Each structure stands twice: as C-alpha cells, then as structure tokens.
C-alpha cells in the first residue's frame, strides 16, 4: 500500500548533498546506476541503452542499466524496493503516482542541476507538462519525459472486411463519433474478431477508461480532488454507454476476454503512440492512427505522462541527476520522441517529430500527437492513488455485470472513497 509516509524517512538522506553535474574525474571504482522502467520492449530498450552508451563515452567511470518491472504492478514493485533499502538511482514514474512521489520527499529536486547543464534550456519545457511534477514553489522533482496523447490504432483490413467505413472515411465525412466508433467495432465483432479494446484496462486499471469517459466531461473526482464525482450524471452516462458497448452490442471485450490488436485480432485499440513499436514489422495488416472519437462534449484529448525521477535514497544521486540531464537534453529528447513525445516546445511539431517517427505520417503526428498535447487533459491522479485505485476497482466490479445498477454502484463507490478524498 502506497502512502506519502512511506518515504518520510528518506527526506534527509541527501539533504546535505552538494549536487554537482561534474562527475568525479579519475574515480577509483566504477559508478553503477540503475533505472527502473516498465517497458521490456526491444525497441525501447535499444533506445535507452544507446543513450546510456553515449553517456558512458563522456563519463567512462559510469555505467547505466535499466531494470524492467512488470507494468501491472510497477509502482508497487518500485515502492517495495525503496522501502526495502534497495532503491534504484532513477525511476520511471507513472502520472497516477506523481503526487505521492513529488510530495513525499522521495525525489531529488532537479531544477538546479538541469538548469546548470550547458545547453539544456530548461525554460522551453511546457508549463502544462511540468505541472504535475512540480511543487507550488515551481521546483521540478521529475522530468516529464513522455507526454503522450491517447489515440485509436485502427485495423482497416478487418473493418473493410466487415463492410464498415474506416475511421479515416468517417473523419472525412464528419462522422467520427463515439456511437459510430462502437457501431464499427460491433460490425467487426460480429465477424468473430475483437471490436474496440481499451488497452491496459482489463477491468482492473479503470483509469484508462478516462480515454472514453472524458468525452462526456466525466471525472472520478472534482478538480480539487476533494469530492467524488463518479455518481454524477456525466460519469453515469459514460459508464452506461461503455456498459452497453460491452454487454449489449458486444463491441468491446467483456471481463476475462483478452484480445490483442497488435496481433491483428481487433478492429481498434485505444492506447498511446509508444505502443506503435508493437505494430507488426511485416505489415500484415493496413493500419491507421486517428484521434479519439467526438463525444457529447465535442472534441477532446486525454494525455498520459511519465516522469523520470532521481531517488534521494539511491546510492549515487549526483551521478543519477547528471544522467537524467543527459538523457533529457535537447538532442536525446528528440531521440526519445520517437516513442515518447517531449515536453520541449521546440519538438512539438510534425516536422521535427517526423524525423524520428518513421512509422507515423506528418498528418497523423499533427492531428494526434501535436493537437493532443496542446489540448489534452492528463489522466486522473490523486494523493494516495494506489488505495483509491483499488477501492474504485473493487466498487466497479458491480458495474461489470450484465444487469448492473450503475447509479447505485457509483453511489456506493463515492460513499467509500469520500473520507479518503476529504483528507
């Protein structure tokens, strides 16, 4: 269970550390840095290791390795390492855990070391991208290395085979709406293939449904985080739409059904562009990438973020901060943008992104990535999110039944989490 208190004892560990980006020359022993990440994807690891090799050329006494932890329990595994005295030097942090890590004192302040790095240009970072990773005093505690909009990957072959219009055709006709998207998914599902998959949801990580319910203007809690809004009309309406798509139209996989879009088994999937690396290299199907469908509140976008933080309780925080500065400098940010859209304003245009995103066309980059970052809301998060996540997940089990009473189920969830939100 994750609490801010988990890291209270770490606040003073590096309190007196005089941070310098210049690593000690001629060090007798090699410095080994470890960074935890959630991805084990070959393309991601190749990119990260390439950046680490570049850093080692400039700092021969420093070796950086990456430890992949399972996505499903990543934050739990990370906090267990920290609490057990085995903290990594650096960690990939999900946006849902940002408030806990930033406010707990677990992370080394990064504003000064980044700003002191020649050519770093900290001032070009988008304020919207850094907001969740900073405190009220403006100090940055993790670098938002990925600000990635959710979008819809499409299997045009399955859709055409089902006799439906492709999303690109619907967009051209001004008809790319949620009802039409579900109708298309339903047509494909009737052929024996999967319809629309919200990747990583799996009836556990409900926060990924924000890519759908934001179309109704819904949210799990108020903007100040103090009031549960799961039982409000926008959320009840959105969950009703999703429930109908699952249990009546069979347009979305039901509980216990695992369908992989990237294996060619579904018409569409909602996920971030970093998953483009999973597309089959043999081009076994004609695919597309389009924005989320229009909802009752109009066009919208939802953004997922990930930050890189330096752990105060790591063995080499100064060296780790130097590596983070190197990994996220303008040159390497451009390389990372192949999978992880940058917080740097100079990199947020289709021309620049296109240089490292050979899979995506300029039109796809412009309408999905650039526009999504400019207008998107970040996925929901809250202090003590791990507890809230589990409580809401358990309460939503009553929704994922064929004859669910959605208003009653959401009222019950709000009654349970209200005390936690009010703290």
What are the tens digits of pLDDT across the range 42-52?
989 999 999 99
At residue 33, the pLDDT reads 97
At residue 211, the pLDDT reads 96
Q: Which residues of the chain have pLDDT under 50?
A: 1-28
Residue pair 157/191 in contact (Cβ under 8 Å)? The answer is: no
At residue 1, the pLDDT reads 39
Distance CA 392, CA 23 (A): 46
At residue 12, the pLDDT reads 34
3-class state of residue 268 by DSSP: strand
At residue 372, the pLDDT reads 83
Torsion angle in degrees (nearest 10) through CA of 91, 94, 98, 102: 0
At residue 375, the pLDDT reads 81
Q: How many CA atoms lie within 13 A of 102 on its CB side?
A: 30
Using one digit for the tens of pLDDT, what is the confidence trace for 307-358? 999 999 999 999 999 999 999 999 999 999 888 888 898 888 888 777 767 7
What lies within 8 Å, CB to CB, of 324 at 6+ separation is: 90, 110, 113, 114, 143, 308, 310
Residue pair 231/411 in contact (Cβ under 8 Å)? The answer is: yes
Q: Which domains does the chain have, with CATH numbers?
A: 4-148+304-378 (3.40.190.10), 150-301+382-422 (3.40.190.10)
**Per 3-state DSSP, what percentage of the chain is helix, strand, and coil (rounded to 5)?**
45, 15, 40
- Give, as one character, the DSSP assignment of residue 215: G
Which tokens is 108 given?
A: 């080394």
At residue 347, the pLDDT reads 87
């Amino acid at each position: 269970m994750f609490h801010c208190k988990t890291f209270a004892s770490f606040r003073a560990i590096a309190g007196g550390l005089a941070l310098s980006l210049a690593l000690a020359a001629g060090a007798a022993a090699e410095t080994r840095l470890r960074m935890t990440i959630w991805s084990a994807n070959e393309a991601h690891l190749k990119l990260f290791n390439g950046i680490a090799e570049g850093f080692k050329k400039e700092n021969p006494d420093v070796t950086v390795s990456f430890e992949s932890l399972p996505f499903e329990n990543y934050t739990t595994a990370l906090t267990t390492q920290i609490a057990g005295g085995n903290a990594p030097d650096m960690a990939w942090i999900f946006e849902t855990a940002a408030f806990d890590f930033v406010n707990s004192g677990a992370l080394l302040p990064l504003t000064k070391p980044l700003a002191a790095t020649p050519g770093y240009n900290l001032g070009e970072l988008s304020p919207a991208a850094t907001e969740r990773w900073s405190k009220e005093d403006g100090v940055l505690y993790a670098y938002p290395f990925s600000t990635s909009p959710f979008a819809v990957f499409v299997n045009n072959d399955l859709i055409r085979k089902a006799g439906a219009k492709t999303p690109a055709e619907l967009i051209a006709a001004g008809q790319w709406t949620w009802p039409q998207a579900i109708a298309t998914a339903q047509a494909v599902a009737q052929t024996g293939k999967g319809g629309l998959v919200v990747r990583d949801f799996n009836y556990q990580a409900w926060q990924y449904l924000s890519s759908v319910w934001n179309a109704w203007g819904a949210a799990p809690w108020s903007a100040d985080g103090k009031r549960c809004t799961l039982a409000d009309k926008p959320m009840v309406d959105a969950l009703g739409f999703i429930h109908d798509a699952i249990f009546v139209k069979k347009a979305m996989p039901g509980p216990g059904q695992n369908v992989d879009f990237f294996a060619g088994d579904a018409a569409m999937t909602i996920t971030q562009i970093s998953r483009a690396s999973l597309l089959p290299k043999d081009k076994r199907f004609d695919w597309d990438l389009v924005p989320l469908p229009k909802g009752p509140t109009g066009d919208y976008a939802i953004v997922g973020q990930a930050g890189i933080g330096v752990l105060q309780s790591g063995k080499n925080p100064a060296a780790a901060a130097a590596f983070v500065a190197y990994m996220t400098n303008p040159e390497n940010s451009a390389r990372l943008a192949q999978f992880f859209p940058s917080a740097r304003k100079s990199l947020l245009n289709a021309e620049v992104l296109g240089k490292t995103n050979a899979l995506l066309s300029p039109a796809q980059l412009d309408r999905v990535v650039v526009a999504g970052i400019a207008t998107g809301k970040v996925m929901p998060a809250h202090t003590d999110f791990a507890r809230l996540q589990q409580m809401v997940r358990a309460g939503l089990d009553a929704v994922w039944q064929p004859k669910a009473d959605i208003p009653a189920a959401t009222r019950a969830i709000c009654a349970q989490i209200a005390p936690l939100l009010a703290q």
